[in-house]
Chain A
Amino acid sequence: MEEWGSPQFVAEQFQRWYAQNSHTIPAPVEIESREFGFLTFHGRNMYRHIKLPTQAELQRYLRQNAPAHSYYSSSYYEDPTAEMARKGWRGADLVFDLDADHFDLPCQREHDKWVCRNCGKQGTGHPPELCECGKAQFQTETWLCERCLQAAKHETQKLLDILIQDFGVHQEELTTNFSGNRGFHVHVHSDTVKTLDQHARREIVDYIMATGLEAEYQGFSQRNKGAKPALAEGGWRGRTTRALYDYLSVVTEERLKEIKVSPKAVQAIMGERPKILRLLMERHPSNVTPTIDPKSLQLIVDDAAKLQAAEIDTVVTTDIHRLIRLPNTLHGKTGWQVQTVPYGELPDYDPLSSAVTIRGPSVKVEFREAPRMRIGDVWFGPYSEENAELPLEAALFYLCKKGARLA
């Protein structure tokens, strides 16, 4: 009986693709100092601590092995082949991962599923922390849709703005990659970031996610005096005011009560919303504090700042020994290409067309459960326990997601 996902067939497609395209895959900066790691279609072991010192050797490796997943280290090492403690860390790019997996999106309830391996209970969306049976052993099945990708794009754009405006990162130091699945990776490579230690990277993460942000230091304190509104200012001062403006324009009484804003402040916001918004627009932030008490204001800012913060994976950025997907290679869980998106082109980038690089004539497949999906300009599915004949690009996606097998 054919295995779900038909890994042998998928592996052959990857081999064919790499045979034709490996010469287009560029070497990362300072390739001789990078560690490489690969996963195959068979077995779960990662082949790592690999050094591929030249572009030619990298391309040959890809051609010969056609891996399911290809990674390289964001770090630079004296000896990339040594065991972890002896590699000789020389620095690392600053890397950000924006993955819809980590967002809380309504569409996940529609296309993601989990099953408890202990008691068999099923659900949609993210699995709970603990199953009702008391175990936390879940098998998850995650799909994606345009809304996930749109959300990831939106978070990525916010990150890019913060990096450029606040951290002064130059466009040529930035690379944005579609991850090949549900998100984007942003790499910053410059001498400035290279030697940042973990503490510094943690502070950068906190900055980008607005963790620890206090309203008092963004101008919202009666101690602070000033003439100008902060709405148009750079950094978190401006962002806090803008977030507050957007938030207070639409926030409901229920939400304010839920986050434990004082009854007096709730009343003030509900009763004088236009006045408060005008204050934010026209006057220094300190003018808001007589109307909303400092404690309530902080609660509101905590809730509102998310609108302006970017939701990055905190572990990826602070881990200075991380392996990250190699741009332009294939992603074994979708069959799509990890692609670099030139700066400025992110808003119009459509991974569902651009990243689908393996195409070909129709294949007959048998489905278990698979949601509706657009590949290129054509819609497929949903499928439920049925056979269908699909063009290779669509079949490959469903096979990689293990929602189907060759019929």
Chain B
Amino acid sequence: MLSEREAAKYPFMSRGVELVEGLNLKLEDLADPNYRKVLDRAAERVTEAIVQGVVSARLADPLTELLSYPVAVMFVTLIGEHFLSRRFALAEAVRAYELLQGEYEDKIIQIASDEFRWDLKREPESIDGVIYSLRLAYPDYLRASTGFHEPKWKLVNRKLRDGQVSLTGVEAARLIQVEVENWIKERVSTPSNFALPGPLQKHLDHIRKVFEENRSKLGGSSLPDEVVNEAFPPCMRYCLEGLLSGRRASHMERFGLTSFLVNVGMPIDDMVQLYVSVTDFDEALTRYQIEHIAGLKGARTRYTPPTCNTLRTHGICRNQDAVCKTVTHPLSYYRKKARRLQSKQEEAEPSNTTE
């Protein structure tokens, strides 16, 4: 029973996968009314991911919780939307992170080393009055912390000794979240296509509907996942630099920049921080205005930035470059440039010699 509960907490772990495989369930079996709870929960996992961005943990009925995970994965691959796959992987990973924070270190070590082959061990030390109970090999640390940009995660700001980085339990859990996310992302990234028995199809239709309703709000267009600063069009770069240097910005300039940043996926918290840090704007008011532009307040429509023509009219279009001549909208510029930068990066051109 204990292991079932454990498996329900972390269903992506090999233990959970084994348990599910041991049941030898077929697709048709799931159509049986006995599995209704599993289907409901599976659909809920996906819709929670879509709407809330985090999947809840329902551990009172461990078996349902455990079984619903592979079914949810199946639903996600059947919908086959890249954006949904990513969002689901992140939401499940956040769920795991929240559960991991309540675990003893031994459990964290076990999951990290068994599932992700980390070189992680217990060796508590106190640094500046904080207990760092774990030490992780630096290659594992660097792999997991790739996407983190806060100074505290930078290797140079960590205690590194004999190739190992000191971590608190919560920090280790946060790094495991990344591994979980990548792990799940890999498993849901290949779309599948097969016919489902009626009750399952009904759930899938429901998920699809929820997804379509939320899609635009979540920014699931074909823009890059992460904000690519280098791909900003010259006008938006000018606005941003103006903001950072404290130049007085017109309303149009601020609206243009804010709506642009919302659309390229800058998190609202980051934007609030950006505005508040460089201006004397009131935080609550700034947040309201940004959320309004993002479609979370008021009329619930998300604004897109003005077109190139509009920006030109208001004197915001400037420093045009070659890409500008091929587009009529700052977001098209961004999409195009980001794609170019990415393909350039993939070519990974080498290599000179070293004197």
Contact = CB atoms under 8 A, between A and B. Distances in A.
Interface of A: 37, 46, 69, 71, 84-85, 95, 97, 99, 101, 165-169, 179, 181-183, 185, 192-193, 195-197, 199-200, 203-204, 206-207, 210-214, 216-219, 221, 224-226, 234-237, 284, 286, 313, 316, 319, 321-325
A207 B354 contact: no
A240 B353 CA distance: 34
Contact of A99 (B138, B160, B355): B355
Contact of B156 (A207, A319, A325): A207
A169 B155 contact: no
Nearest to A69: B353
A169 B354 contact: no
A322 B155 CA distance: 24
B160 A226 contact: no
Contacts of A101: 355
A214 to B, nearest CB: 5
Contact of B129 (A195, A206, A224, A321): A224
Interface in B338-355: 347-355
Given A165-B161, A166-B161, A196-B139, A213 B353 contact: no
Interface string B123-164: 000111110000001110011001000011011111111111
A243 B152 CA distance: 21
A222 to B, nearest CB: 11
B342 to A, nearest CB: 14
A234 B161 contact: yes
A324 B351 contact: no
Nearest to A200: B142
A217 B151 contact: yes
Contacts of A97: 354-355
Contact of B163 (A99, A167, A195): A167
Given A219-B128, A286-B128, A323-B354, A169 B157 contact: no
Nearest to B353: A323
A235 B161 contact: yes
A284 B348 CA distance: 46
A212 B354 contact: no
24 contacts: A166-B162, A166-B163, A169-B163, A193-B139, A199-B146, A200-B143, A203-B154, A204-B142, A204-B155, A206-B156, A211-B156, A217-B157, A221-B128, A225-B129, A226-B129, A234-B159, A235-B160, A236-B156, A319-B350, A319-B351, A321-B350, A323-B352, A324-B354, A325-B354
Nearest to A217: B157
A313 B151 CA distance: 23
Contacts of A325: 353-355
Given A212-B151, A213-B156, A217-B157, A224 B354 contact: no
- Chain B interface: which size bin? 20 to 34
Main SS at interface, chain A: mixed
Given A214-B154, A319-B350, A323-B352, 13 more contacts: A71-B353, A97-B354, A168-B162, A169-B163, A182-B355, A200-B143, A204-B155, A212-B151, A212-B154, A217-B152, A224-B129, A235-B159, A322-B350
Contact of B128 (A169, A207, A224): A224
A192 B126 CA distance: 28
A206 B142 contact: no
Contacts of B128: 219, 221, 224-226, 284, 286
Contact of A226 (B127, B157, B158, B352): B127
Contacts of B349: 84
B148 to A, nearest CB: 11
Contacts of A216: 151
A318 B165 CA distance: 21
A197 B140 CA distance: 11
Closest 10 CB pairs of A and B: A168-B163, A321-B350, A224-B128, A217-B157, A168-B162, A321-B351, A200-B142, A225-B129, A324-B354, A207-B156
A234 B138 CA distance: 15
Nearest to B166: A235
A54 to B, nearest CB: 23
A101 B355 CA distance: 10
B262 to A, nearest CB: 27
A144 B339 CA distance: 46
A313 B352 CA distance: 13
Given A46-B353, A99-B355, A324-B354, A192 B163 contact: yes
A314 to B, nearest CB: 12
Contact of A322 (B126, B158, B163, B352): B352
Contacts of A168: 161-164
Given A200-B142, A217-B151, A225-B129, A84 B156 contact: no
Interface in B159-178: 159-164
A84 B346 CA distance: 12
B349 to A, nearest CB: 7
Interface centre among B126, B160, B348 (most CB of A within 10 A): B160
Contacts of A211: 156
Contact of A316 (B130, B348, B354): B354
Contact of A324 (B158, B350, B353): B353
A96 to B, nearest CB: 10
A129 B278 CA distance: 32
B351 A323 contact: yes
A284 B127 CA distance: 11
A404 to B, nearest CB: 21
A207 B151 contact: no
A168 B151 CA distance: 23
Contact of A214 (B157, B347, B353): B157
